[in-house]
Amino acid sequence: MKVLVALLLLVQLLSCKVVPFDPFQPLHPRFLDCDDPESEEAAAIAVDYINAHHHHGYKYALNSIEKIKVLRRRPTGEIFDLELDLLETVCHIVNPLPVENCTVRPLTHHVSV
């Protein structure tokens, strides 16, 4: 019985896909320019995500991209670390109007807490 269990574990271990380590691919993050098209696309996706998961208050619009850093994720992929400046709009979060059609709320209408 122990031999059978050991054989099954060995088969599972051998069937796993091993991702080779590439020592020439840099591990340090890369920094993008804030006006780069890839940065703007990542920021738009981030603002859409924030508005989709924000369940109270008003929608946010992108004002500017402060900083963007791209980290490698093993075995594949990248993680975007964004620092964004967002502005509150006059459209409530339940309003079906896209955020691109909403006007930005003036500073005089903000409530400081």
pLDDT digits (tens, 9 = 90+) for 9-25: 655 655 555 555 555 55
Mean pLDDT of the 71-82 span: 83
Q: Structural domains in the chain? A: 25-106 (3.10.450.10)
Percent of the chain topping pLDDT 90: 36
Looking at residue 21, its pLDDT comes to 53
Give yes or no for residue 7 having a pLDDT over 80: no
Residue with the larger pLDDT of the pair 30 and 23: 30
Looking at residue 103, its pLDDT comes to 92
The whole-model pTM stands at 0.68
Looking at residue 106, its pLDDT comes to 87
Q: What are phi and psi of 19, to 5 degrees?
A: -90, 120
